[in-house]
Amino acid sequence: MATMRVNGIDVHVQRLGHESGSDRPVVVLVHGLLIDSLASYYFSLAPRLAEEGLDVVMYDLRGHGKTSRPPTGYRMEDFVGDLDGLLDALAIDRPVHLVGNSFGGAVAYAMAAARPERVASVVAIEAEPPARTWAENMYEGLVGEQGGLVVQEVTQWLRENPGERNARPFRAAGRVLDETALAEEIPLSGLLDEDLSAIRCPVFAIFGGASKLSEQTTMLEASLADCRTVVLPDLGHSVLVEATKETYALVRDWLLLGQEAHALREAL
């Protein structure tokens, strides 16, 4: 599978473990922003989840990877619309499990709020729901003073780690920022209410202990009706890369065992 026409753009899609007519649980993996693409899942979680009997869908977000890069259309509503449209294009009519890394986790939260009937559960890896604090952080990271610091850090990293393989994703990120309104539009996205009441599905949030995002654990557990959090000690934001085996085990157990536990609790 290569590209599918969704919301006026060509979306690059890969699917593993799909069997026509099968009732396998569907898992959609949503990657992060700028230097990320579906490849981060293809070389980490996706093949092993498919081997476990899951129907695994990966796709490049608009502006990323092999998906079209339109000049505008980068509010959260657009990313949610793409995911919703992709499920239609793939003829997936039952609720899916969303696994989102970083910005992809925000997309997963937003999708769960906007289309609750389509989402069975959310796994958010180093991510925060797209509410007011998220918008402020995105502004600082993309167009505020912090955005300049990010560019400096990337430049320094490239100097210390030369080579085509390392430089390629950062050049791709540069093209997204240069050729689109992503940096300006994401902070203007429609936001969830602070109480997160629109998210009704089970949520599993995974954080690195050295990441500032891990401070959300108490808030998420208090705000969401059904939420479990795990903090991996001494890890930063790149949990998926730094602790792939641990992350895979947590995600696998949630998808294969956690949902059975939720169903049992609901039946009691």
Mean pLDDT of the chain: 89
What is the CA angle 117-7-205, rounded to 5? 45
Residue 200 lies in a domain: yes
What is the number of structural domains in the chain?
A: 1
Kindly state whether residue 174 falls inside one of the protein's structural domains.
no
Residue 149: predicted pLDDT: 44
Q: Is residue 52 part of a domain?
A: yes
Q: 126 versus 148: which is more confidently predicted? A: 126
Domain membership of residue 137 (yes or no) is no
Q: Which position has the higher pLDDT, 257 or 72?
A: 72
Q: What pLDDT score was predicted for residue 154?
A: 52
Residue whose C-alpha is closest to residue 203's, from 164, 258, 153: 258
Q: Which domain holds residue 72?
A: 3-129+194-261
Instruction: Please give the Cα distance from 137 to 102 (Å, whole number).
Output: 12
Predicted confidence (pLDDT) per residue in 92-141, tens digit: 999 999 999 999 999 999 999 999 999 999 999 999 999 999 999 888 88
User: Residue 14 domain-assigned?
Assistant: yes
- Residue 35 pLDDT: 82
133-144 residue pLDDT tens: 999 988 888 875
State residue 165's pLDDT score.
Answer: 56
Assigned token pair, 129: 């729901």
Residue 250, domain member (yes or no):
yes
Query: In this model, does residue 41 exceed pLDDT 80?
Result: yes
User: What pLDDT does 61 receive?
Assistant: 98
pLDDT of residue 160: 59
Checking if the pLDDT of 152 tops 70, the result is no
- Say how far apart CA 192 and CA 190 lie, in whole Å: 7
Kindly list the distances between the CA atom of residue 8 and the CA atoms of 59, 78, 180, in Å, as whole numbers in the listed order: 16, 11, 16
Indicate whether 162 belongs to any domain: no
Which pLDDT does position 168 carry in this prediction?
Answer: 72
With contact defined as beta carbons under 8 Å apart, do 100 and 30 qualify?
A: yes
pLDDT in tens, 247-267: 999 999 999 987 555 444 444
Residue 53 near residue 17, CB atoms below 8 Å: yes
CATH label of the domain that carries residue 103? 3.40.50.1820
Which pLDDT value is given to residue 265? 43
Higher-confidence residue of 257 and 47: namely: 47
- 112 vs 22, higher pLDDT: 112
- Where is average pLDDT lowest: 33-37, 70-74, 77-81, 211-215? 33-37
**Sign of the CA dihedral with 86 first, then 88, 89, and 92 last:** positive
Rounded to two decimals, what is the model's pTM?
Answer: 0.90
Quick one: what percent of the chain has pLDDT higher than 90? 74
104 with 44: CB under 8 angstroms? no
Please report which confidence band the pLDDT of residue 194 belongs to, taking 50, 70 and 90 as the band edges: confident
Phi, psi angles (nearest 5°) of residue 253: -65, -35
Which has more pLDDT, 178 or 227?
A: 227
Domain contains 266: no
What is the pLDDT at residue 175? 84
More confident residue, 29 or 176: 29
